[in-house]
């Protein structure tokens, strides 16, 4: 196959959902030579999620992506990425819970599969671009938030390398979700009303705790048992079956016969102590960021909007960089700053970069 189209050849990551399907359809309309590809990353027979119902990249999702590709008249490939997904996403996810962190596997999936594995496949197929259904925009070499603030996914893109931005296309970044579904309807795409993928795609209804216990040795789990202490007094209040049962800010399921509402304020992986206390102890003005990755230059004088979880709008903060050390100082205290989650920095609508919240 030779690239004869003036606009170039595009590999589109098609998850079987409406967003990536519409992304592919729009590129066809715009005159690109489009190739569709779906990554098969997880065996859904191993969890209790109904395929195609809040999942992505399951066998049903692959079939949906293939049907859209057929409707659009474009070539379609299925890429088996299960081994890499386990190495780069599942295994770090499990380790994080045993290290007293709350992981964010969607960033690892973007980093090591969508924008690494697929970039290599893009080159192999002699494509000029890689496109995805992310709600984000690229303008003048900068990543900007999408038009749809509610669906914006730039929070998960802070690890992207500056060098690949010129080869990336986000065709739906200028649309709202409602507009995307309307386009799918108008084009007669079978996925127009398909449910969005939700939560962590490989966990299922069983929840994080059970998933960890099914995939980690019993000896390792036993070594993570410990006590629950009252913050700040240090009073022992109970024992617990493992630190993977807890996350910062948690108030339910603490396993204590205690009438006062208490919250997890800290988890110590060294001695497996879970600290609980009043809600006021959840608020802090500073955090340390590790493995910081910048897409543009930041300075200590400017005030940025910083998100410590996907569901927040972000809060004003200053950034201090000393070598590899990055400190984020918020102008107002933040609730439940959680190790293992992403700390993502914005200037107006531009994604500046981010890193991981350290212990």
The set of catalytic residues is 109, 201
* Ranges of H-type helices in 136-233: 177-186, 208-215, 218-222
Supply the Cα-derived Rg of the chain in whole angstroms: 22
Backbone φ and ψ for 143, nearest 5 degrees, come out as -90, 125
Q: Which of 80, 74, 57, 52 is nearest to 190 (CA)?
A: 52
CA distances from 66 to 16, 277, 339 (A): 8, 52, 39
The angle at the Cα of 322, spanning 321 to 324, to the nearest 5 degrees, equals: 90
Instruction: Cis check for the bond before 239: say yes or no (omega within 30 of 0).
Output: no
Strand ranges for 202-282 from DSSP E: 226-230, 236-240, 263-268, 273-277
* Structure tokens that stand for 107 in this block: 């960033």
Backbone φ and ψ for 30, nearest 5 degrees, come out as -80, -5
CA distances from 86 to 41, 81, 92 (A): 8, 9, 9
Q: How far apart are the first and last CA of the chain?
A: 51
């Amino acid at each position: 196959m030779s690239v004869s189209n003036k606009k170039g050849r595009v590999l589109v990551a098609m998850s079987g959902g409406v967003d990536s399907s519409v992304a592919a359809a729009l590129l066809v309309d715009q005159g690109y030579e489009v190739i569709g590809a779906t990554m098969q990353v997880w065996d859904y027979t191993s969890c209790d999620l109904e395929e195609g119902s809040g999942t992505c990249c399951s066998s049903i999702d692959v079939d949906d992506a293939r049907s859209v590709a057929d409707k659009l008249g474009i070539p379609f490939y299925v890429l088996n990425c299960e081994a890499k997904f386990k190495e780069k996403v599942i295994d770090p996810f499990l380790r994080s819970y045993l290290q007293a962190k709350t992981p964010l596997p969607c960033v690892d999936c973007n980093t090591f599969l969508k924008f690494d594995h697929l970039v290599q496949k893009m080159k192999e197929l002699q494509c000029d671009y890689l496109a995805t259904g992310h709600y984000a925009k690229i303008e003048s070499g900068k990543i900007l938030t999408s038009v749809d603030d509610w669906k914006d996914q730039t929070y998960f893109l802070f690890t992207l390398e500056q060098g690949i931005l010129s080869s990336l296309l986000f065709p739906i970044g200028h649309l709202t979700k409602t507009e995307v579904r309307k386009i799918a309807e108008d084009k007669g795409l079978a996925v127009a009303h398909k449910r969005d993928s939700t939560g962590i795609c490989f966990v299922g209804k069983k929840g994080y705790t059970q998933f960890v216990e099914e995939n980690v040795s019993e000896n390792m789990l036993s070594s993570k048992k410990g006590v629950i202490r009252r913050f700040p007094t240090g009073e022992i209040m109970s024992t617990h079956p493992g630190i993977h049962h807890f996350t910062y800010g948690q108030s339910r399921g603490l396993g204590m016969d205690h009438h006062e509402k208490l919250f997890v304020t800290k988890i110590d992986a060294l001695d497996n102590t879970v600290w609980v206390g009043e809600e006021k102890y959840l608020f802090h003005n500073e955090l340390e960021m590790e493995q910081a990755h910048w897409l543009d230059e930041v300075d200590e004088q400017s005030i940025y909007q910083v998100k410590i979880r996907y569901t927040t709008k972000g809060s004003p903060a200053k950034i201090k960089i000393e070598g590899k050390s990055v400190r984020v100082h918020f102008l107002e205290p933040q609730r439940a700053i959680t190790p293992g989650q992403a700390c993502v920095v914005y200037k107006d609508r531009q994604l500046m970069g981010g890193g991981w919240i350290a212990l």
